Amino acid sequence: MKAIVWQGPERMTIEDVPEPGDPGPGELILRAEAVGICGSEVEGYLGHMGNRKPPLVMGHEFAGTVVAVGSGADELEGARVAVNPLSGCGECALCRAGLSNVCKDRVLVGVHAPGAFADLVKVRAADARVLPDGVPARVGALMEPLANGVHAVRLGGPAERAVVLGAGTIGLVTLQAALLSGIAHVAVVERHDARRERALALGAHEVGDERDFDLVLDAVGAQATRQLGLELLRPAGTMVCIGLAADETTLGFHDIVRSQHRIQGSYAYTMDDFEQAHAWLVSGEASLGDDLTAVRPLEEGPEQFARLAAGTPAEFKVFLAGAGREA
């Protein structure tokens, strides 16, 4: 089968690789119909993510059709599904506490196991959720990023006024999660005109001279946005850090202490978060715009990664898939 193989910084190839083999008990083989390119994968392509080791088939935002099932998963044969690609061991204290996303033995498809930038991908049946008829695979592929936003907003706790920093994919899904969670006023900071306009069209307010937000959601993760987030935050407010643009950041901690600011990291999501994202997207409550681009052929993967790494794309999200891709 064909797959996109990351060979190291800024090097990707289209290769013939072995098929996943027969599914074992509780496993599925999926023909991916839409696979989103994640910003973290672009950073990985550039060599900025230490958790990705070449050679690697990436792809963790995906949906498609089940073409083979192992024992115990017969009810999903032939189904169209979206997949939560992140699973914990299920046995450790963190997993038992509902924190499978930070399990030390967690597995992320596309990082620790071959991903969906291939004709076929093997996944756990327990991680698949059925897509109702009429819900495009591209919408199913958005459940993983939206789950990130759901998780971040939940970590932020109750708020009446929130601001999202950045209106890329993660910023927009976090905006949607904040609005659907009942936060009355959600503002956005985004310097890219098209991204800012999309956020405003989805219900955000543009930040003017506003300050003293209860909740800041940093979807960028740069020195500048982390500093700005603290400047926008009210005393005793919470800044949730989702973005990973920069590793090293210098912040003045005297103001953090004196303002009793809470800085909260947010990593990925749990299955509860994924299921909330699934519910909002299949019901149409969450909508990230009606102009999702068509799914491009897998063979365009190296070119698309290079283009995305070179600058801010015009598209909200780029999708790839093999021969079974959605039109």
Identify whether 280 is part of a domain.
no
For residue 66, tell me if it sits in a domain. Answer: yes
Which structural domain, as residue segments, surrounds residue 164?
Answer: 149-265
| Distance in angstroms (rounded) separating the CA atoms of residues 295 and 34 | 6
User: Is there a contact between 176 and 288 (Cβ–Cβ < 8 Å)?
Assistant: yes
Q: Is 270 within the bounds of a domain?
A: no
**Residue 306: predicted pLDDT:** 96
Say yes or no: 164 and 259 in one domain: yes
Nearest to 322 by CA among 135, 57, 13, 116: 116
Dihedral sign (CA 177, 202, 146, 311): negative
Residues 229 and 246 in one domain: yes
Residues 15 and 95 in one domain: yes
Contact criterion met (CB below 8 Å) for 29 and 20: yes
Residue 90, pLDDT score: 95
Is the pLDDT at 313 greater than 90? The verdict is no
On whether residue 275 sits in a domain, the answer given is no
pLDDT for 208: 85
Tell whether 16 and 77 lie within a shared domain: yes
CA distance 262 to 230: 10
Q: Using the predicted structure, report yes or no on whether residue 314 has a pLDDT greater than 80.
A: no
pLDDT band at 257 (very low <50, low <70, confident <90, very high): very high
Residue 13: predicted pLDDT: 97
Give the alpha-carbon dihedral of 284, 179, 108, 137, to 10 degrees.
Answer: 20
Annotate 199-250 with DSSP letters as a single string. HHHTT-EE-SS---EEEEEESS--HHHHHHHHHHEEEEEEEEE---S-S---
- On whether both 256 and 292 belong to a single domain, the answer is no
Q: What pTM was computed for the model? A: 0.95
Summarised one tens digit per residue, pLDDT across range 4-32 is 999 999 999 999 999 999 999 999 999 99
In this prediction, residue 316 has a pLDDT band, given cuts at 50, 70 and 90, of: confident
Query: Do 127 and 9 share a structural domain?
Result: yes
> 265, 296, 278: which is closest to 117 by C-alpha?
296
Instruction: Say yes or no to pLDDT of 89 above 80.
Output: yes
Q: Is residue 271 part of a domain?
A: no
What's 204's domain CATH number? 3.40.50.720
**Dihedral sign of CA atoms 306, 137, 316, 185 in order:** negative
Q: Are 239 and 216 in contact (CB under 8 A)?
A: yes
Q: Where does a domain end: 265, 280, 307?
A: 265
Asked whether residue 164 is assigned to any structural domain, the reply reads yes
Domain identity same for 297 and 248: no
pLDDT level of residue 129 (50, 70, 90 thresholds): very high
Whether 327 shows a pLDDT value over 80: the answer reads: no
Query: Could you tell me if 160 and 227 lie in one domain?
Result: yes
Question: Which CATH number fits the domain that encloses residue 61?
Answer: 3.90.180.10
Euclidean distance between CA atoms 203 and 182, whole angstroms: 12
Query: CA-CA distance, 89 to 131, in Å (whole number)?
Result: 26
Q: Are residues 298 and 226 in the same domain?
A: no
Say yes or no: 116 and 47 in one domain. Answer: yes
Summarised one tens digit per residue, pLDDT across range 35-66 is 999 999 999 999 988 889 999 999 999 999 99
Answer yes or no: is 201 within a domain.
Answer: yes
Beta-carbon contacts of residue 5 (< 8 Å; ≥ 6 apart): 12, 13, 14, 15, 17, 54, 55, 56, 57
Q: Is the dihedral of CA 37, 153, 284, 173 positive or negative?
A: negative
Compute the distance between CA of residue 69 and CA of residue 30 in angstroms, rounded to an integer.
Answer: 9
Considering the chain, what is the average pLDDT of its residues? 95
Q: How many domains does the chain contain in total?
A: 2
Identify whether residues 44 and 169 lie together within a single domain.
no
Has residue 311 been placed in a domain? yes
| Domain identity same for 115 and 224 | no
